[in-house]
Structure 1
C-alpha cells in the first residue's frame, strides 16, 4: 500500500524488551505514531514474546538493525494499514499545498489485543496543531542567523508554504517537485542540522558569483537556490501550545522550513545509472568530464562541493551530469574524514568517481542488463 511510508522506528536506548516500540508512518495528508507496548500486549503470550523478540532485534548492533528493518518494520505497521486509511482526512481545496503537508493531521495509535488474541488498532490521542511542533528553525535562532543573514542579503525570493503547490512526492512521500509563480522547483525541507548551515553558506557564494560581472559558474551544471520557504509568525504561532495563564509560550519569529532549488528533470543518480548496460562507455566518459568541469568551476568561485560521490550527481533526461547537495559532510569510501569539506576532499572524491566509472566501462559482461522496477506495498525507509 504505497500511500503510506514507514519513516523510522524508535525504542528506548536502555535495554528493556517490554518497553515501547514506536513506528513513525508518513502519509501525504497525515502522520501516524504507532505504539507497541509490552504491558498492553501481555494479554496474548505469543504477541508479547514476538514484541520482545522484535525489541531484541532492533536493539542489537547497527548491522543487525538494518537487516531487521526490512522484516520488522513492515510487520509492525501491517495491522494498522486499514485503520490508518480510515483516519486519513479527505482531500480539500488546500490539500495540494505545501502547508497542508508540513502541518498534517497527526495521530498516536496503539496496539491492543482483541478477544481472538490478534492486534486491535486503537487511537491513543489525536494531536491538535497546538501539540504538533512546527518544522524548520526560527530565522532569529542564534544557530541559524549567522548563516542565513548573508544569504538574505543576496535578496532571494521568499515564499510561505501556503503559496507553494506540491506537484510530486518522492518514494518516501516527501514533497519533491513544487510549483510557485508559474515555475517549478525542487523542494528541500530544512534539516536544521550542521549540513543545512553549510549549504546556506555554499548557496550564498554561488548566488554572489551568479551576480558577478563575469560569473565563473555560468556554464556549470549545478543545483542553484531559487528561493526560501519561510512561514511567518501568524502561521507558526498556531502550532505552539497556548499557555493557560495567558502568557506567551512560543517564539514570535518566522521559521525557515525549506529551500527551492533547481528542478532537474532527472533520469536518476549517477550511482543508479553508471553500472547499467544501457549506458555506453562514451556516457561514462562524458559524465566524468562534466563532473570535473563543474567541480573546477566551483573551486574557482570559492565553493567546495563537500560530499563528492555518485549519489550526489543527477543525470538529466538529455544524459548530462549535474552536481547536487551542497550540504557538506563526507561519505566513507569516497572522501576521507580528514579531507571532509575541503578542496582536497573534492579532488579525492573526483578521482574515486573516475575509477568507479572506469570499472564499469571495463566490465561490460558483469553489468546488469535491466534496471530494477519499483514494487508496490507499504514502503520502508531504505536503511539497508
Structure 2
C-alpha cells in the first residue's frame, strides 16, 4: 500500500458469479493478525452515489483485471481499506522487539487472531462495523482422509503438526504479513516448500504419485520434486504438503524464457533444460508414473540452472495438453513437445 499507510497485505477477495449477488469479501493480514471484511449493498443506507461507485468497483473485482475503463484495482482497494486503517493499527499494533527476531510457526500463521468487520455505507459515508465472532469465518483446510489412507501414508512419509513447522523469509518480519512459501522442519535443518491443501481429489492423486516416485527411488536420482511430509492439525484436517524447496526466485520456466527473445538464454543452457526434462519424464514413464499437468509453469529453474519437474496434482491446461489426453502418458508427451517448442521457439 501507499508508504503513508500502515503496512498490511491483501491476501484475497471473493465475489459471487451470480448476477443478483453483489456481496464481496476481503482478507487482510497485518502483524500476524487477520481481518475479514464483508461488503453488502443491503447494508447501504441513503447512499445512491456510493452505491453506484461500489457497483463499478465490484465489476473490476469480478473481472480480475488491473484496470477496467478508468478504474484501477488499486482504486478499489484504497476505497475499501482506507476506513479500516486506524483499526488495523489499533487491533494489530507493531510487535515489540527487533523485527529481525520475528519467528512464527505455521500454526500461528494458519490459526491467527482474527477480526470480522462489515463495511456499511450510511449517508454516503463508509462506516466500518465490527461483527463479534468466536470462530473464524475461514478454515485453512476441510480435507480429511479415510483411516486406511492415513495408515498407508504413515508407512512411507511423515506427519507434521503445524507447530513443528517454522516460516522462513529473507526478511523475518514478512512472516507477519505474507503467505509462506519456504518453511523449515526438523529444528530448521530442512527447507521445504509448503503447498496449501485445497482439493481432496488433487491432493490424493499427488500423494499417490509421490509414493510411486519414492518407491521407484527416483526422488534421489532426478530433478523431481519430492515430498518431505504432510501437515495435519489436531482435528485430522490435512493442511498441506511439505515439498522440495527449489530456489528459483519464484520464477517458473514460463517467466524465464521469452519466445520473443530467443537469445535471452544461451542455446546450450536451453538444451540442458530440455535434456533434463526429457530424462526425468522418461524415467517417470518407465516406472509407470504420469506427470500430469505438463506446462512451463510446472517447470522450475534453480539457481544452478537445473530444470525441475514439479506439481503432480494432475489435471490439464488448455494449450498444453488436450482434455481427452489429460493424465495419460500420451498427454505427457504432447505437453513435452509443447515445452520443447516453448524453449526453442525458432525450431
Which TM-score tier does this pair reach, normalised by the shorter chain? 0.7 to 0.9
Q: 1:255 aligns with which of 237, 251, 260?
A: 237
Partner Cα distance (1:324, 1:81) in 2: 40
Partner Cα distance (2:316, 2:31) in 1: 31
Partner Cα distance (1:79, 1:167) in 2: 30
Q: CA distance change for structure 1 residues 153 and 80 in 2, over 3 Å: closer, same or farther?
A: farther
Q: Is the 8 A contact 1:147 1:201 kept in 2?
A: no
Report what 1:381 is aligned to: none
Q: CA distance change for structure 1 residues 80 and 300 in 2, over 3 Å: closer, same or farther?
A: farther
Show structure 2 runs of 5+ residues with no match. Answer: 2-6
Structure 1 residues 93-108: aligned runs within 5 Å: 96-108=104-116
Partner Cα distance (1:3, 1:55) in 2: 21
Q: 1:266 aligns with which of 248, 260, 265?
A: 248
Q: CA deviation at 1:175?
A: 1.2
Report what 2:275 is aligned to: 289
Whether 1:357 aligns to 2:343 is: yes
Whether 1:31 aligns to 2:38 is: no
Superposed CA offset, 1:111-160 (max 9, x none): 23467x432333223x33x4455433464x44xx5654433221x22221
Q: 2:16 aligns with which of 11, 16, 27?
A: 11
Q: CA deviation at 1:39?
A: 3.4
Report what 2:288 is aligned to: 302
SS at match of 1:153: helix
Q: CA deviation at 1:28?
A: 6.6
Q: Is the 8 A contact 1:186 1:263 kept in 2?
A: yes
Q: 1:326 aligns with which of 312, 316, 319?
A: 312
Superposed CA offset, 1:266-298 (max 9, x none): 142100101165422222221111111111111
Partner Cα distance (1:227, 1:137) in 2: 18
Report what 1:121 is aligned to: 128
After the TM superposition, which of the residue ranges 35-44 and 259-268 deviates more from structure 2? Answer: 35-44
Superposed CA offset, 1:172-210 (max 9, x none): 932111112122111112223321111011111112122
Partner Cα distance (2:277, 2:320) in 1: 15
Q: CA distance change for structure 1 residues 36 and 204 in 2, over 3 Å: closer, same or farther?
A: same
Partner Cα distance (1:124, 1:74) in 2: 21
TM-score under structure 2 length normalisation:
0.81
Q: CA distance change for structure 1 residues 281 and 101 in 2, over 3 Å: closer, same or farther?
A: same
Report what 2:4 is aligned to: none
Report what 1:192 is aligned to: 199
Whether 1:43 aligns to 2:26 is: no
Q: CA distance change for structure 1 residues 27 and 208 in 2, over 3 Å: closer, same or farther?
A: farther
Report what 1:177 is aligned to: 182
Superposed CA offset, 1:212-266 (max 9, x none): xxxx55421011001121223xxx4xxxxxxxxxxxxxxxxx2221211111111
Q: CA distance change for structure 1 residues 295 and 27 in 2, over 3 Å: closer, same or farther?
A: farther
Q: CA distance change for structure 1 residues 302 and 26 in 2, over 3 Å: closer, same or farther?
A: farther
Partner Cα distance (1:256, 1:293) in 2: 33
Q: CA deviation at 1:22?
A: 1.9
Structure 1 residues 364-379: aligned runs within 5 Å: none
Structure 1 residues 90-239: aligned runs within 5 Å: 91=95, 96-113=104-121, 117-125=124-132, 127-128=133-134, 130-132=135-137, 134-137=139-142, 139=144, 141-142=145-146, 147-154=149-156, 156-168=157-169, 173-181=178-186, 182-210=189-217, 216=218, 218-232=220-234, 236=235
Partner Cα distance (1:152, 1:348) in 2: 35
Partner Cα distance (1:78, 1:327) in 2: 36
Whether 1:88 aligns to 2:96 is: no
Whether 1:21 aligns to 2:24 is: yes
Q: CA distance change for structure 1 residues 228 and 94 in 2, over 3 Å: closer, same or farther?
A: farther
Q: CA distance change for structure 1 residues 149 and 53 in 2, over 3 Å: closer, same or farther?
A: same
Q: CA deviation at 1:45?
A: 2.2
Q: Is the 8 A contact 1:158 1:227 kept in 2?
A: yes
Q: CA deviation at 1:27?
A: 4.7
Partner Cα distance (1:320, 1:204) in 2: 24
Partner Cα distance (2:205, 2:31) in 1: 29
Q: CA deviation at 1:30?
A: 2.7
C-alpha RMSD over aligned residues: 2.9
